[in-house]
Amino acid sequence: MRRSVITATGSYLPKRILTNDELSQMVDTTDEWIVARSGIKQRHIAADGELTSDLATHAAKAALEMAGLKADDIDLIVLATATPDETFPATATVVQKNLGMTGGFAFDIQAVCTGFLYALATADNFVKSGQANRALVIGAETFSRILDWEDRTTCVLFADGAGAIVLEAEDGAGTSDDRGILTSHLHSDGDKHDLLYVDGGPSSTQTTGYLRMEGREVFRHAVNNLASVVHEALDATGLTTDDIDWLVPHQANKRIIDGTGRKLKLDPEKVVLTVDKHGNTSAASVPLALDEAVRDGRVKRGDLLLLEAMGGGFTWGSALVRW
Ligand code: UT7
C-alpha cells in the first residue's frame, strides 16, 4: 500500500515580536488576562510588505533543506491559508515561483484554523493515488492584517507565522505500524458561520474585512469537536489514547489544549504546546508546533502523532501519523 510519509518539517516566524504588555497599551487588556485566558505570552507580526507567500517560502525552504531535496523534486504544493496575498491567483503558485519550481502543480486550501489538516489530507490522497510523489504541505498566515486592532476580544489572540512539511510516497504494509499518514478525518458545519468569520470579501463587500468571533461559543464547541475527532481517528486504526506519543494540537488557546488533553486522559508531557510563543497562527499553528518538537528531538522515528485542529466554518479535523 502506498503511504505518504512526513520526511521533513520547517517553520518561520516574522522577526517582530509583539508582547502582551505592548498590547495593553493599545487596547484595554493586561498581560495577566491574556495569559490566564489563553496562555499566550507573545506573538510575531509580519513586517510591512512581508506577505503570506514570503512566510510560506521561508518555511518551505527550511523543510526542503531538512529533506535534502531541491524545489524541482517536488510535484505538488498544497498551501492552507485564510490570508492569501491576493484574491487570486493562489498563494501556493507564488511560493512555487519563489522556490524556483518549474513543474508540478500548486493550489490553496481554505479551512481557516483547520487548514493544515485539510491540506494534509488532500496531499495524502494525491500521493496515495499516485498523482503526486513528493508534496510540500504548508500552513501560512498573516492574520495581523485581518484583525480589528481596536477589538480586544480578538486582537490579543491571533498572529502571523508559517509551517511546512515534505510528504513522500513510500510503500507500507497497510497496518498501523506503517510510517506515514495512517488516517485523517475532516468535518465542517456551515451552520456555525456566525460564530467565527471575516466580515468582508471580494463577492460580498469588495473589502478584505475583519475577523469577528464569539470566543466563548467557539471554546465550548472546540473541546467537544476535538475530542470526538481524535476518537474517530483512533477508532479507524484500532489504536488507543495509550498508543499516542505526541498530541500536536492547533495552538489556539492553552485552555482548549489542556481541556482536550484531559478529556483524552493524556499525560500533559505528551502534548506539544507552543501557543505561548506565537499565539493563534491559524493554519500555520500545527506545522509550527510539529517543527519545534521534531527539531528539539522530542519526536522520534516510530512515534505515533495525533494532529488536530478546529476553526471557522466551523471546520475541524484530525490525522494520525507514524513518524
Ligand atoms: O482557532 C479557533 C479560533 N478561536 C479560538 O479557539 C478561541 C476560542 N475562545 C477562547 O479562546 C476564549 O473564549 C477567549 C480567550 C476568546 C476568551 O476567554 P473567556 O474565558 O471565554 O472570556 P469571555 O469571552 O467570557 O470574557 C470574559 C470577560 C468579559 O468581560 P465581562 O463581560 O465578564 O465583563 C470580556 O469583555 O473578559 C473580557 N475581555 C477581556 N478583558 C481583558 C475580553 N477580552 C479581553 C481582553 N482583556 N483582551
| Span 44-98, pLDDT tens digits | 999 999 999 999 999 999 999 999 999 999 999 999 999 999 999 999 999 999 9
Pair (138, 185) in one structural domain: no
Pair (30, 159) in one structural domain: yes
**Confidence bin at 108 (pLDDT 50/70/90):** very high
**Confidence bin at 145 (pLDDT 50/70/90):** very high
Q: In testing the pocket of ligand 1, which one of 26, 27, 33, 37 has its CB within 8 Å of the most ligand atoms? A: 37
Residue 24, ligand 1, Cβ within 6 A? no
Q: Which three cell numbers stand for residue 239?
A: 489504536
Pair (208, 96) in one structural domain: no
Question: What does the DSSP 8-state code read for residue 278?
Answer: H
**Confidence bin at 216 (pLDDT 50/70/90):** very high
**Confidence bin at 196 (pLDDT 50/70/90):** very high
Q: What is the mean pLDDT of residues 273-289?
A: 98
Q: What is the mean pLDDT of the chain?
A: 97
Pair (227, 292) in one structural domain: yes
Among 171, 195, 220, residue at a domain's last position = 171
Q: Which atom of ligand 1 is nearest to the CA of 218?
A: 8
The fraction of the chain above a pLDDT of 90, given in percent, is: 99
Looking at residue 201, its pLDDT comes to 97
Looking at residue 123, its pLDDT comes to 98
Q: What's the distance, CA 140 to chain centroid?
A: 8
End-to-end Cα separation, the chain, in angstroms:
17
| 25: containing domain | 2-171
Backbone angles phi, psi at 83, to 5 degrees: -130, 65
Pair (195, 277) in one structural domain: yes
Which residues are known to be catalytic? 113, 250, 280
Pair (227, 293) in one structural domain: yes
- Please tell me the total count of domains within the chain: 2
